[in-house]
Every structure is written in C-alpha cells, then in structure tokens.
Amino acid sequence: MQGGWEASRSRRLRSSAARAGTGMAKNRPSGPQGTALIYDKDMARVRLLWDDPECAIEVPERLTSTYARLCHRGLAQRCVQLPVREATEEDLELVHSPEYVAVVKGTQTMSREQLHTLAQQYDAVYFHPSTFPCARMAVGATLQLVDAVLTGAVGNGMALVRPPGHHSQRDAANGFCVFNNVAIAAEHAKRRHGLQRILIVDWDIHHGQGIQRAFENDPSVLYFSWHRYEHQTFWPRLRESDYDVVGQGPGRGFTVNVPWNKVGMRNADYVSVFLHVLLPLAIEFDPELVLVSAGYDSGIGDPEGEMKATPECFAHLTFLLLPLARGRLCAVLEGGYYLQSLAECVCLTLQTLLGDPVPALSGEPVPCLSALESIQNVRAAHAPHWASLRHENSGPVLTPSTWQGDTGTPLLGAPSIGTTDGLKPLLDKVLSCPSRSLCTGIGLAVPDSASSLNLPPALLQEKGVPLRQEEEALWARLDSAFPQDQALAALGKPLALLDEILTRQVRAGIAVSPTVSTTTVAALHRTLSFEAPSRLLCVTLGDLDIPEDLRDDGRTLLLNIGGKEQPEAARSPTCIRLAGREATEPGTFLLALTSLILPVAYGFRPELVLVVLGPGCGLRSLDMELLTRLLQGPAGGRMLLLLQNPELPLVEALAWALVGRPLPGTLGPFLPASPEQALAVKRLCRQLRQDWPMLQVSVT
C-alpha cells in the first residue's frame, strides 16, 4: 500500500476526471453507448371513426402527450432520436400471412362503413384509412430500434408506436393490434442478425397471446408475460394464458405466463415476480437481446388493468433487466390508457435506460397472497424445465381445471380500484411529484496506481478526514500490525468519501483500504452517528470479521455471503449469513442474489448500501459488477463499495458499474448451484421469510 497515495499522481487523475466531468455535467450521455428514442407523429393519425366503447380508449393522444412529457422532462433531448421507416411486406410476412397483409393493405381505400364491417370480423379492433401505413411504421420503428441496438449504434432504446402489436396473430388483428411489432422484431433479430436467444418481457396488463402463439414451439425465444386473468374471466379470457401453459415440443419451458387473479397489484407484487420468476429464468437463459412489450396499462390508474403499480416501479423493472444481454434492451410501447400515468411511466422507463439512478420504490414491500399464489404456481410449472428452479419443492396451489369461483380461503387480495372512485386526487399526487433528482456524481478513494485506469468522471479523495478518537482506538485495537501513521490513508480517506455520500455531495463511491474489516466497522459507527440514513444495508462478501455489537436501534441490516459459519445464536433477522466458501461460487451466488439478497434489500428499503468485498472473496468480477449494479436499485443508487487490495481492473469495472455502464459480458454459460447449496439458500430463506416477506415464493 505504501506510496499508493502520492499526491502528484492523484492530482493528475483528478484533473483528467474533472475535464471529463465538465462535458458530462451539461448533457450527460447515457454511459458510453447512448439511448435511442424512436417516434413519429404520423403514428398519431389512426383514430376510431365510429362509436365503440371498447375501442374508445386507444387514442392518438397516447402518443402525442407521452412524447410531449418526454420533451418537457428533457429526456427526449438526451436520446439519439432515430427516424422511423416503413416496414416492407417481407418484414410483415416474418409473422403474418400474405393474405392477412393484403387484407390490411386493402383498408387504405375503404369507406368508413367498409372499415367498420371489416373490424367486426375481429375482437376489439378498429381500422382507419391510415391503419396500414401507421401499422407498417410501428413495425418499421421497432426494426429500426433493434437494428440500432444490434449494430452497436446505441446501447438500448425505446420505440413509441401505434397501433400496438402483441395481440395480433398470423391471420388476425386483435385487441387494437394490427401487426405484431415485437414478434416481427424477434423474428428479424433471429433471421437477419443470426441471434439464438431472445428474451421477450411483456409487462402489458393483457396477455400477448399473439407473441405466445408465434413462438410457442421455439426455444430461441423466451416469452414472459404477466396479465390480469382473474381465473380466465378477464379479456381475452383464454385458457392458454394460465401458468401451466409453458410452450410445446422443443419450445417447452420457453413460454412463461404469470396470471394475476386479483386486481390492485402493487409494486411489491411486480418486483417479487421479477425477482422470483423472471430473473432466475432470464439469467439461466442468457439472452443476447431483450425486447420489452412495454404496455403501461399495468400502471396505476389505468381503467383496463386496475392495478396499482406506481411509475417508479417501471424504473425498477427496467433496471432489473439491464444486466441481461449486455444491456441490449429495446422497449416497444404496447397498451396504456390513462394518459398521465402512461406518460409518467414512459418517462421513468426512458430515464432508467439513459442510466439515471432509479428512485426509491414506494409502498409496503410485501407481496399479496394472490400474487404469491401465482408465483408458487408458475415456479412449480417451470421447475421441470429450468435448473434454477429445480430445487423447487412446493407444488402448485390449485389446479386450474378444478378451480371454480372463490375457494373460501381468505386471500389477501388488494381491494379493487377504479379510476373514478375518489382515486383521482391520490393519483394526481402520485403522478405530479417528479422523482426527486438525485446527485449523480460518484467519488473515489483509490490508490494512485489507479490513475492508469480508464475511470468514469469522479470526485477524488485526496485528503482523509481527521479520525475521531474512537476511530483511532479502533484502529489501534484491530490493526495494531499496521503503523499508526497509515491510519489516515487507510481509514481517513474511505471515511471522507463516506461523509460525502452521507451529506449527499456524491451519490456513490468506491474506497480501497488495506484493512476493510476495520474500515467497515468504523464506517458503520460513523454512519450511525449521523441522523440519516435511518436504514443502512451492509452486504459483506467473504470472510470478514465484523463485530455485531452496533447498538443501532434496528438501523442496520448485516448480510454476509461466504463467511465463516456462526453459532445459531449469532443469527437474527438483521444479521443474515449464508456461510461457506461455496456461497460465492457463481451458481450459488446468482441463486442467492435473486432469491435472498435482493428480496431482503427490497424489503429493508435502505437509504444507503455498503458493499464490502473481502480479500479473496471468490466472486467473479462479473458477479461483483452485477451485485454492484443491482443493489443500487433498493437504495436509489446510494452505495459505498469497500475493497481490500483489489486488482486494478476490478476497480475500473466497478466504477463503471456504479455509473450504470452495461456489463461487459453476458452472464452465461449458466452453472447451477449444487443441490446442497441450493438447499442451504432455500433453508435460510424459509427461516427468514416471516421477517422479510419479499423472500416468500409460496402461500404455504
């Protein structure tokens, strides 16, 4: 460590960082790669020409008012705005029959009466003389986006399109959808870019049966959809939307349906399904591209969905998908009919794609019983197909064929809401307060040797804070082997960075210390000496010696992965340990991340996360990056990373992970946890699930 902190080199690093920083302060690019936004007001031309209450909600303002809000927030301006193109008939025929394409083409010259008559052949559809060009443009916009992402022109992006696509089928329009934008894009990515694994996440509140049917035999497309189902009483009322429909032939296991059997689902329900169903399968699948059928009728206030997820929930959903496929994510608008909610939810999606830290998730972090029932069922249905669920041992709750009406079991389904019954004031409040803007800078307290690295713009800690008496005493007690005069650098600089995070001068940071155990203890005490944060999550990896006598009034939660086994008595809901070296092996770690670490973190709602990577903690660099990224979700991006003598490239990788750069590689190939390790994780989750309801994956 000696000589690692020379002032001259440190200053050099600072000045180059400061230079880079000036360009960034004004118009911050979203990581190195950029975010595409595709929109054309011509897609606002289609509209309903006759009276039809069912179709009346699909209005041009869905597009125009959403785009206006993106501009007003300054988000559109931060994107690479790409022009749309009109898809060719060849493109359309990647999914649709030539006969059907000809029928839609024919609508351009039809009278209002003829359009109406044709529309009646389909379920919940209207046509307009502009339907054909608009629908071709919607497909073309989606293809532009996918091409831009797959050629590396941008890192990710969103297409704002009308008409939507996910209900349309080979030979049929359906549910406002004419051509299947996302299904065509997936087929295009396969055929024309040679992709072998594409994940489609359909968070619209309706089942995208059109996408499901297009790929039900196809193992190269993993289709995930959640949807309002209410035991098959909600539109489109299909048996094939239930959890036990998993795909056919070689495609078995590659269709994942999560039915919502109650309305009023909240943020915790959505995040639980992502953590306990989608993420494990997606990590195992290891997609090369993620397409999101981004419908916002699943958001609060929507008259179709009647769910209660708030706009920032969509920031979290997006954020949880970004570690996949090296961040190659394309979001394509589907439904969303409550204009304010739609616009706000799109803003939060795009903001997250741009790399902004995600705002804290509101609401009780407790999934409702009906959601747990769905989670249990879908996990049971998929356990035979996915190694990451193989340890699943509870079967489904109910078999769908026998389910009739209410079971009499009191289910804690959230109460039903409509948009009319006094909800308006609440909604206006939720939707009008723009997410509190967070300071986005990061800070570094790293050795001078780091000046050779390519680091993101950052504040550098040149000086440490003077140590408090108790910190000096701690140092003397725990690290007497180190000369006292090194304490300032080893302890003072990380603590100076911590102070900057606590006082919100920077959002996050990385500190290197030769003695992380002592530094961690000092950091915990120092944090508790401040009024805020009221909740501090401390995640330690590897064998670290952290005494737990914090007298913290429940302000801290300690979570250790891969440390020494502790006596039963040392365990508590706020001191959680998954012990043993095997715990940091890739398979076990990934399982622990989605099933233990993130649910506990989301349940605790920390205001700050301290991540300590112990010496030789055994984690792959990619897994540390993944942890660094994902743990920023529950705490609004506020994180201090403490490392002991890391390899320098790791410092570089983690610094970029802190500012939201996509992971450099995919997570695959997937190595499942050993049965013993899977059992150990499962057992720990069981012990803790009373105290941390986000750990629950079943109602039993």
Residue numbers annotated as active site: 167
Q: Is residue 204 a contact point for ligand Q9C (CB under 6 A)? A: yes
Q: How far is the CB of 334 from Zn ion (least distance, A)?
A: 6
Q: How far is the CB of 87 from Zn ion (least distance, A)?
A: 22
Q: Is residue 334 a contact point for ligand Q9C (CB under 6 A)? A: yes
Amino acid 192 reads: R
Contact flags string 197-216 toward Zn ion, x per CB under 5 A: -------x-x----------
Q: How far is the CB of 398 from Zn ion (least distance, A)?
A: 26
- Taking CB within 5 to 8 Å according to partner kind, which of Zn ion, ligand Q9C, none is near residue 187? none
Q: Is residue 69 a contact point for Zn ion (CB under 5 A)? A: no
Distances, alpha carbon 389 to alpha carbons 329, 609, 673, in Å: 25, 28, 10
Residues 331-370 within binding reach of Zn ion (CB under 5 A): 335
Q: Is residue 177 a contact point for ligand Q9C (CB under 6 A)? A: yes
- Our CB check for ligand Q9C shows the closer of 231 and 468 to be 231
Q: Tell me if 348 sits within 8 A of 73, measured CB to CB.
A: no
Q: Is residue 533 a contact point for ligand Q9C (CB under 6 A)? A: no
Q: DSSP string of 459-508?
A: EE--SPPPPPHHHHHHHHHH-TTS-GGGHIIIIIHHHHHHHHHHTTSSSE
- Taking CB within 5 to 8 Å according to partner kind, which of ligand Q9C, Zn ion, none is near residue 301? none
- Our CB check for Zn ion shows the closer of 335 and 441 to be 335
Q: Is residue 499 a contact point for ligand Q9C (CB under 6 A)? A: no
Range list of β-strands (E), 45-171: 80-82, 156-159
Mind spelling out the 3-state secondary structure of 264-326? CCCHHHHHHHHHHHHHHHHHHHCCCEEEEEECCCCECCCCCCCCCECHHHHHHHHHHHCCHHH
Q: How far is the CB of 237 from ligand Q9C (least distance, A)?
A: 9
387: burial class by Cβ within 10 Å (0-12, 13-18, 19+)? middle
Give the separation between CA 265 and CA 614, rounded to whole angstroms.
39
- Our CB check for Zn ion shows the closer of 294 and 651 to be 294
Segment interacting with ligand Q9C (CB under 6 A) among 22-30, 173-181, 521-529, 553-561: 173-181
Region class of 74: left (phi > 0), else alpha (psi between -120 and 50), else beta: left
| Token pair belonging to 161 | 């399109």
Residues 297-316 within binding reach of Zn ion (CB under 5 A): 297
Q: Tell me if 275 sits within 8 A of 258, measured CB to CB.
A: no
Give the separation between CA 373 and CA 362, rounded to whole angstroms.
23
What separation, in Å, do the N-terminal and C-terminal C-alpha atoms of the chain show?
A: 53
Longest Cα–Cα distance in the chain: 89
Q: Is residue 54 a contact point for ligand Q9C (CB under 6 A)? A: yes
Q: Is residue 164 a contact point for ligand Q9C (CB under 6 A)? A: yes
Helical spans, DSSP H, in 164-287: 181-193, 209-215, 267-273, 279-285
Q: How far is the CB of 182 from Zn ion (least distance, A)?
A: 13
Residues 280, 295, 311, 457: which binds Zn ion (CB under 5 A)? 295
- Taking CB within 5 to 8 Å according to partner kind, which of Zn ion, ligand Q9C, none is near residue 176? ligand Q9C
- Our CB check for Zn ion shows the closer of 297 and 625 to be 297
Q: Is residue 301 a contact point for ligand Q9C (CB under 6 A)? A: no
Q: How far is the CB of 672 from ligand Q9C (least distance, A)?
A: 36
- Our CB check for ligand Q9C shows the closer of 304 and 585 to be 304
Q: Which residue is listed with tokens 């003829």? A: 114
Contact flags string 229-268 toward ligand Q9C, x per CB under 6 A: ------x---------------------------------
Give the separation between CA 485 and CA 479, rounded to whole angstroms.
12
Contacts of 213 (CB under 8 A, 6+ apart): 169, 170
- Our CB check for ligand Q9C shows the closer of 294 and 383 to be 294
Judged by the rule CB under 6 A, the positions of this chain that interact with ligand Q9C are: 54, 124, 164, 167, 175-177, 204, 206, 235, 295, 297, 304, 334-335
